[in-house]
Copies of this chain bind each other. A is one copy, B any other.
């Protein structure tokens, strides 16, 4: 579900020129199709057809399908950090509550019927080749997420913050995958509870 916010910002160049409308429609449709059915599974023909545009329009706005996929993932990345920061901002100075808020939301999100996993994680699975435009977006996101989780673990006062931060990342990625494998009632439903248990144990160590 691509939000309309920030899309123009992601598409238009730094001049305040009028943003092409076709590019937005293309990216919206690509976002939906790539996420729901996979990048490799979707051809550019289907994208332009569903977007009501033509192929040359796609290639005027995006240099290649791979770069279109990367644009989709950059949008996904943006929305991810919006969700993450919402949880963080809701509990200023309380890293543990921030984690709890974020993971509670993840637990719900991953149980939704249309949930199909993390778009960036999925893309990395679809494109194992190092340096692929779609893959690097995901790699950067995960690296940054790891950094922040470790920092939050340290802020909680965990003796071994790196291990706890990594443990939280494992739980999160596990929830992403389990959500799309099991659907409703799967292991992802208990991600927040397990994280809390893990945090508790790590702080007392």
Q: Identify the A interface with B (CB < 8 A).
A: 36-38, 40-41, 116-117, 121-122, 124-129, 138-139, 142-143, 146, 162-167, 169-178, 180-182, 186-191, 193-194, 197-198, 200-202, 205
Q: Check B193 against A163 for contact (C-beta < 8 Å).
A: yes
Asked if A170 meets B167 with Cβ closer than 8 Å, knowing A40-B126, A124-B180, A142-B181, the reply is no
Partner among B117, B125, B176 whose Cβ is within 8 Å of the Cβ of A38: B125
Residue with the highest number of chain B CB atoms closer than 10 Å, among A163, A164, A177, A189? A177
Q: How far is the CB of A150 from chain B (nearest CB, A)?
A: 9
Assembly CA distance A182 to B165 (angstroms): 14
Assembly CA distance A162 to B166 (angstroms): 23
What 8 A-B pairs are tightest by C-beta distance, nearest first?
A: A170-B174, A167-B194, A166-B187, A201-B201, A174-B174, A173-B174, A40-B40, A125-B125
Contacts A/B (CB < 8 Å), 5 sampled:
A38-B126, A139-B181, A166-B187, A166-B189, A170-B187
Apart from A117-B125, A169-B174, list 5 A-B contacts with CB within 8 A: A142-B182, A170-B175, A170-B187, A170-B191, A170-B194
Partner among B167, B177, B186 whose Cβ is within 8 Å of the Cβ of A197: B167
Q: Is the interface of A mostly helix, strand, loop or mixed?
A: helix
Q: How far is the CB of A140 from chain B (nearest CB, A)?
A: 11
Assembly CA distance A126 to B41 (angstroms): 8
Q: How far is the CB of A142 from chain B (nearest CB, A)?
A: 5
Q: Given the complex, which residues of B lie within 8 Å of A165, measured CB to CB?
A: 187
Q: Check B180 against A125 for contact (C-beta < 8 Å).
A: yes
Q: Given the complex, which residues of B lie within 8 Å of A38, measured CB to CB?
A: 40, 125-128
Q: How far is the CB of A34 from chain B (nearest CB, A)?
A: 11
Q: How far is the CB of A8 from chain B (nearest CB, A)?
A: 30
